[in-house]
Structure 1
């Protein structure tokens, strides 16, 4: 294992310390609970958005804390759900009196722990609600999951609902919008390599140098097929084919598009993939709205690979997607 770390057991706390030192004008860190919190939180009268999950997916989730996106993010250990106590502390730290909304990726630990945190918060007089994001079209009922996994499409929920909350939408309105985004977003990914969690010190799975896995999950969960590596255009055709044949009718629509790197794929390769994504969408009569989002949005440590996400947009989503935000991840939107 070759990593730029000190001690494996300290990677999360030291990462958060670095984030706070680098972005102290945007965020603050609650070190005893491994929380990233919007610097000006709580914002009175605004619905607060909280998300979180295992570390190792950066810039998800802490990188999206700030004005126009999340109010707080809970950082679990690498690939491990945060605890209900962490989530409750995040809830209390950002509650501005209008309720707290949880954006939860569909992994069993995340769902159970956020549900428990919501119950604890309600007992303390804080109104909560949540959405479970399940945008991955690859498999159902995978490792860690009942139903479809939540992956990179979650970032569109963060952005659109975060902007809506800053715009003054109430808790029930945020819930409806989040469910509408989730119902219209679909993602499919692939990987070329495994990755090495620092405390494990070894790859989480083995894959041959000439192989790729189609439909790989962000924790290394198996996909739908392992096969010999193919040219980029053929890989994109497989990913988009699965997305476009799912139960969202993208034909004739305007979409937000994300080509998301998993941590070990250089921008050169992501743009090669996006070039063919754009060609396929044009051929299918699907219009890319605004700019495409090409880069590392939700990673799996140093895994090589990428995912493609399409979000079918309506007019309200368009306005919130392009609204300004200021987050630690820089200018992801």
Structure 2
């Protein structure tokens, strides 16, 4: 190991840590996924213990790594650092010299801590820290010291959003024309990758309303925090050139767009009064649809746009809302 022992920190993995990891593991039937969730939970437990020892406030309860639905759909091991953002905590098995950082966590993490688990899973050693640089494997020898982590956290600006409301989130604008060239943001995933065993509704409804003709379909898990009481939903966007053309580089290419919202995690119905709105860039509401108690999905009316035009999709539940911004 190239890293000096002075730059590492070893913490005990307590019975309560294993109990929580086992609780999460039992919620996943696939053995590989269950093992992944178990090890990820131990890694987050170790980092949480260390940061609290250093006087850094965390909020693991608000982290994606505690959400069984997101655990099943993604490889996540994040820890919410209060007023800073999400810190990824990646488990490293003994004798492994690289840290694996899955692409789905590249876009919204303030950094990554490598956590080496001993063979007996009784202790965990924090090996070091790295900033996210859109690479899947980082050599252990290139990790920065834990002192650098604490300095990085102290200098990180508090997370803020464009919308002044404390319960609103706004993400960066998504370029739909790039989807026609198979260029996708990491958080927008293929439909099959989000489906869980025993959840047919997402796939079935995609055959409705001519969606089978769509050139590209992508979906994104929507996290509205505690407002949905640990239930998750997915926003699906399907696009298709209106004139039957498929070359996104052609000038004046008009695009048809369909947007749907689906329940996830094996749920049959959406929560009642979940609102989805189509907004102009200035904030004018163009369409809105609300879910009822027995809706297994909702959708906006199909609409069209020209290259360079922008629109927003807002998802709201009670007092919490999230806005996804798009350009064609």
Q: Please report the TM-score for the alignment, with normalisation by the length of structure 2.
A: 0.31
User: Higher RCO, 1 or 2 (CA under 8 Å, sep at least 6)?
Assistant: 1
Higher helix share: 1
Higher strand share: 2
